[in-house]
């Protein structure tokens, strides 16, 4: 089993920045993909950014150039630096870890961007 704990959410004004962190613990394999997904009220959960244990990244078009995903494999931690935040970025942000045939989720952290 793998446990994921997110932190760093909060309320920020449009144009501001936040950094999310997610610490993974448990049975973590050397190769995995960690990422951030978000779900706004009444909408589906969408991918924001992912990063492999080798450092390859993928971003949703809506956040390219504004968000940066990074990870520290020694600490089993993934980060999401969010700059130039917009009200439409308001959502619950979930950390995800995928390895072998399993997919794990954190409980989420709320990000609210005021206009």
- Reported as a single tens digit per residue, the pLDDT across 10-41 is 999 999 999 999 999 998 888 899 999 999 99
Is the predicted pLDDT of residue 110 greater than 90, yes or no?
yes
The reported pLDDT for the residue numbered 30 is: 84
The reported pLDDT for the residue numbered 100 is: 87
What string of H, E and C letters represents the secondary structure of 9-49?
A: CEEEECCCCEEEEEEEEECCCCCCEEEEEEECCCCCCEEEE
User: 66: closest CA among 10, 14, 108?
Assistant: 14
- Reported as a single tens digit per residue, the pLDDT across 40-97 is 999 999 999 999 999 999 999 999 999 999 999 999 999 999 999 999 999 999 999 9
Average pLDDT, stretch 91-105?
95
Provide the 8-state DSSP code for 95.
E
């Amino acid at each position: 089993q793998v446990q994921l704990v997110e932190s760093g959410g909060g309320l920020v004004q449009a144009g501001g920045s936040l950094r999310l962190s997610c610490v993974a613990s448990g049975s973590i394999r050397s190769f995995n993909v960690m990422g951030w997904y978000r779900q706004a009220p009444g909408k589906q959960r969408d991918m924001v950014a992912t990063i492999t244990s080798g450092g390859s990244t993928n971003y949703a078009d809506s956040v390219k150039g504004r968000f940066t995903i990074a990870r520290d494999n020694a600490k089993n931690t993934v980060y999401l630096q969010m700059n130039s935040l917009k009200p439409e970025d308001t959502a619950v942000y979930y950390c995800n870890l995928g390895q072998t045939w399993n997919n794990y989720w954190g409980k989420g952290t709320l990000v609210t961007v005021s206009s």
